[in-house]
Amino acid sequence: MNQKNTTAEHWDSVIKSKHSLFDINLKELWHYRDLLVLFVRRDFVTVYKQTLLGPLWFFIQPLLTTITFTIIFGNVAQLSTDGAPKVVFYMAGITLWNYFSTCLTSVSGVFNANAGIFGKVYFPRLIMPLTIVISNLMKFGVQFLLFVGFVLYFTFQNQIQPNNWIMLTPLIIVLMALISMGIGLILSSMTTKYKDLNQLIGFGVQLFMYATPVIYPSSTVPLDYQWVVELNPLVGLFDYMRFAYLGVGEFTILDLVYPSIFSIVILAIGVLVFNKTQKTFMDTV
């Protein structure tokens, strides 16, 4: 009996995954770059294809949000803007926050949103999160141009004083993309098993906005809670935005050390978790 069992358990060939958790095939991602471009184009076209105003929504949304924040938080609540004009102060925060929040929420649902295509054809799964980050980067670019237009206007009015720190803007955008993608990848792996997390993520992102200096300068936070706020890796990025373009608040290059380290660590963790989940997610989605 034992001999029969030993013989039955002997296999001529065993199929195993060739990919480890730490395997990030950048060469393969580059090989599928045309697919990445196709997905980016698809996202841009499909969202605004059947709308009345099309890409103008890129401008309308931040303008309406800025007006709302100016009325409620600037005029009614009388929150400090460190002496900067209220409109451009809130637009600086809104421009960055829109990119971060949209990337995070979209990446967090990448498995559920693309289960159909993932189950039919093979391609590097990281293509989809990258598509989201790049697609939203285009939207951010349009809104950032609108923000720059307001900055130029108030600069000519001598109400703000931009400085040479604006040269670091590409680094800030990269850090924002890495952080949002890293957190999103971790959450996407959790939502494949726990569907109700999708609701919590949307609510959590809204709450997180109030823990980030989007509608207020970090200088207004009481000293007893400063250390709590500084745990947020986005604080230095928002402080940079207002210091570089509006000339208000405080900022040093050391303020980017923590966000830089955090972005690398969270992205590495996110990719590891994502690689593990992509092998079995079709069983739970």
Please list the pLDDT of the chain residue by residue as tens digits (285 residues).
Answer: 445 444 456 666 555 555 555 556 667 777 878 888 888 887 777 766 655 556 677 778 888 888 999 999 988 988 889 989 999 999 999 999 999 999 999 999 888 777 777 777 777 888 889 999 998 998 898 889 999 999 999 999 999 999 999 999 999 999 999 999 999 999 988 887 777 787 788 889 999 999 899 999 988 888 888 888 889 999 999 999 999 999 998 898 999 999 999 999 999 999 998 888 877 665 555
Q: Which residues contact 25 (CB under 8 A, 6 or more apart)?
A: 19, 124
Instruction: Quote the pTM value.
Output: 0.85
Q: What is the structure's pLDDT at 109?
A: 86
Host H or E run for residue 205:
helix 197-210
Which of 255, 16, 65, 57 has the alpha carbon at shortest distance from 142? Answer: 57
- Contact by Cβ (8 Å): 170, 178: no
> Where are the chain's structural domains?
26-42+51-283
Exposure of 7 in the CB half-sphere (CA atoms within 13 A): 4
